[in-house]
Amino acid sequence: MSELLKAFDSYNEFERSSYFTLLFNTLSSSISLEVPLEESKENINKVLKLINPSENDYELVFKNWNTEDASNADFQQDFPYQLLYKSIKKKSIIWISLEDDTLAINFLYDCKDASLEDWIIEMNHKLRNSFGLSRTPIFKVLTKNHSSFQTEDVRTEKTEMNLRENYNDDFIEVSNKIENSIFTKESGLILLYGSPGTGKTTYIKSLITKYHQKCNFIFIQNEFVNNLLDPDFISFLLKQRNSILIIEDAEKVITSRENLKEESVVSTILQLTDGLFSDYLNIKIICTFNTSLSKIDTALLRKGRMISMYEFKTLSIEKTNNVLQKLGANNSNEKLTLSDIYNNDNKSYSNIKKGKIGF
């Protein structure tokens, strides 16, 4: 019991690795699994049946229950959503959690026991085969807890765009320059701007689809924009060298400092893309925005800092109609955005592969 009590940190959060060390007087090795899964009694029972803790010499330490408070609730649907098991014989613990439609399983063990490690690896394979999703592009989203900045992995739909068909001809050279810069060890800024629906987000999704296994894409949510001024954010970036930061709707990030009364995030971007330690970080920043380029801080546009800049516009008449014809839609007499084309009410849906596309 004393080991359990000592394993709670100053925030009253249970630290499994601390509990393992207190229990077995050694450091733990770890294998973890985290996948989306509906939070239900049926699913937690499937997980427990597959792991079969009791048959594998694990005993239950504690569990937390998911229950409905209503008087007319179906009590048969109550189920434990968090469970901790330990095996003194194997020097191992298993943490199982099914919360917020996410299954998280953590095996902690003594790596000196090769046979146990083989069993845990095999069990992890079985769990992935049973509950894992098919491989899809992944990017990271910036988060912050009570003590530091972190990232969470986010799955996104695979987006493969034929650039020559879906973008104007002058964009091909720009795209080649952006892609070539991804693997160079240099910092820099990429500005993609234009009216809504012209394909900025779709292009970024296509980059993530193509390079997510080789590059670290980090999406900065608008509510975290002001955190770029936080010294702790720079400390976070020191561990994220060679990453690509993505800031959508970045008007308030890159607007001229002359128009702002408070300290501007532009100063941080200048440091990251052409400051004293930019050569060490090799951070690239992709900003998308809808505003006029005239409102952008001119310091960001200096030669040597800018990797590429492009204004997305409506497609030419020729390209507009070529895409419409491929979609089985009627020709247009005017230039259209990608969003207008792919959401055109005249197209024949029988010839279009189902799926979603962002712009």
Residues 6+ apart with CB under 8 A from 47: 96, 98, 103, 105, 127, 131
In order, the DSSP letters of 155-176 are E-------HHHHS-THHHHHHH
Residues of the chain with CATH 3.40.50.300: 153-312
Model confidence at 176: pLDDT above 70: yes
Fold of 153-312: Rossmann fold (3.40.50)
Provide the 3-class DSSP secondary structure of residue 80.
strand
pTM: 0.66
Model confidence at 319: pLDDT above 80: yes
Alpha carbon distance 95, 93 (integer Å): 7
pLDDT in tens, 198-244: 999 999 999 999 998 888 999 998 788 777 778 888 888 888 888 99
Q: What's residue 353's pLDDT?
A: 40
Model confidence at 3: pLDDT above 70: no
